[in-house]
Chains A and B, each alone.
Chain A
Amino acid sequence: MKSLIMIIVGCALINNVVLNQFLGICSFLGVSRQMKASLSLGVAVIFVMTLASAVCSLLYTYVLAPLSLDYMKTIVFILVIACLVQVVEMFLKRKSPAIYRALGIYLPLITTNCAVLGVALTNVQDGFGFAESVLAGFGTAVGYTLAIVLLASIRSRIREEDIPAPLRGAPIVLISAALMSIAFMGFANLSI
């Protein structure tokens, strides 16, 4: 039990996917302009990442590993994740239009989020079982959401500030993200 909680905390804070592993930077910078949008993206990522980790873990354990097709995992995972997102999108569109509308464009965008693939591959690398993979996926996605929501709130404040002209726009956002990253390094000494 303790090790499972450790996995979630480890993935969300200590090894934060954006701020420590530098995955999923494009959507992290692209969608963090508005609080609401970043929150919707975060929820969509939590949803997809947990599901993708589960499916990829099963696929690896029962198909790829027995056939010693370890080296094909990247391609297979991409295929499966892309399909999964599509299926989830169609399912939501029919069964729950409200959630579908709330997630909007962000659901299909996740297909191209390298963090999702990154988690699936890291799970295999770390030799995680099914339950551990699902938790790692969930924890990582929570970490991603935390990072993007924090950046969105920082950016909403930056907008009101008088920033020196050369730093306006992307530069100040990158600097803020770098400072966040340094702050998150403080979690490295966290012991549970």
Chain B
Amino acid sequence: MQIIITTLVILVIGFIVGYALVLTDKKFHVDTDEREQAIRDALPGNNCGACGQAGCDAMAAAMFKGEAPLNGCPVGGASVAQMIGQIMGVDVEAAVPKAAFVRCSGCREVTRDQGRYVGIMDCRAAVQAGLNVTSCVFGCIGLGSCQKACPHDAIVIQEGLAHILPQKCVGCGLCVKTCPRALIELKPRDRQVAVRCMSHDRGPLVKKVCTAGCIGCGLCEKVCESGAIKVEGNVASVNYELCTQCGKCAEKCPSKVITLPRSA
């Protein structure tokens, strides 16, 4: 008998609670466009915030209002962008999936320490204090401001140099904004050839402070057949749209500062 009463009471309470929910939903219903809900369903829903919005709900609302680009979800990538484009009835050019890339190869082995830094363990603080932790004034400081800014644990500091873990990076660009020396750039994921140096110093000076820096010799520029690599301000940089990834520049580079295509 007792079990029947219990079941009944719980059922009744459950029913009342459920009904209350339905009633409130009816009474306080806020009209949202079907399409906004559809966009929300198409988004990955892990609320990472890499798009810059407060979460997938906020991103869906912003996309619907036209305040955010329809291909703005870095996690969902091309497939999600396409689905949302279908929902909104427009063609969306899929954003090229990008990953962060550190334009410095100055680990502790190739640069010289400038004494011991004992201040706040943060690159921005070190730069603000005008202290050079390493010998190169353009290179990675290695105190890990970018590591702390990364919400996806995609950055590790090894030997005083930041490394990006491509499998974890979603290309949100938070580290790009954080780096006080602007060393991190968003590079298309399928592009392997890139210059790992940002030093604008002239060749001899670069050689003095770092054995792995770009000396601006221009050999890569000469050997490149598609005109994708240019030396400007004593440092080479790759135009990713023109680059065919032949890897000739990387072979020719005397300081081996250009990354090779992975297949090579």
- Interface residues of A, Cβ cutoff 8 Å to B: 59, 63-64, 67, 69, 72, 75-76, 79-80, 83, 86-87, 90-91, 93-95, 104-105, 159-160, 162
Contacts and interface: CB of A to CB of B under 8 A. Distances in A.
Contact of B10 (A75, A94, A105): A75
B30 interface: yes
B154 to A, nearest CB: 15
A86 B21 contact: yes
Contacts of B17: 79-80, 83
Contacts of B25: 90
18 contacts: A59-B13, A64-B9, A67-B5, A67-B9, A76-B10, A76-B13, A79-B17, A80-B13, A80-B17, A83-B18, A86-B21, A90-B24, A91-B24, A105-B54, A105-B55, A105-B57, A159-B148, A160-B122
B262 interface: no
A69 B54 contact: no
A91 B17 CA distance: 15
Contact of B21 (A63, A83, A95): A83
Interface string B4-48: 011001100110011011001100111000000000000000010
Contacts of B129: none
Given A94-B29, A94-B30, A104-B54, A87 B21 contact: yes
B120 interface: yes
Contacts of B29: 90, 94
Given A72-B6, A93-B28, A94-B30, A87 B120 contact: no
Nearest to B7: A72
A91 B20 CA distance: 12
Contact of B20 (A59, A87, A93, A95): A87
A88 to B, nearest CB: 9
Interface residue range, chain B: 20 to 34
Contacts of B30: 93-94
Interface string B110-124: 000000000011100
Given A72-B10, A159-B148, A105 B28 contact: no
Contact of A90 (B10, B28, B54, B55): B28
Nearest to A86: B21
A64, A69, A75: which has the most chain B beta carbons within 10 Å? A69
Contacts of A59: 13
Given A83-B20, A83-B21, A87-B21, A160 B120 contact: yes
Given A79-B14, A83-B21, A105-B47, A72 B120 contact: no
Contacts of B24: 86-87, 90-91
Contacts of B5: 67, 69
Nearest to B125: A160
Contacts of B9: 63-64, 67, 69, 72
A93 B28 CA distance: 8
A51 B14 CA distance: 19
Q: Which 10 A-B pairs have the closest CB atoms?
A: A94-B28, A83-B17, A90-B28, A162-B121, A87-B24, A90-B24, A93-B30, A94-B30, A91-B28, A79-B17
Contacts of B121: 162
A64 B10 CA distance: 10
Contacts of A75: 10
Contacts of B20: 83, 87
Contacts of B122: 160
Contacts of A87: 20-21, 24
A83 B21 CA distance: 7
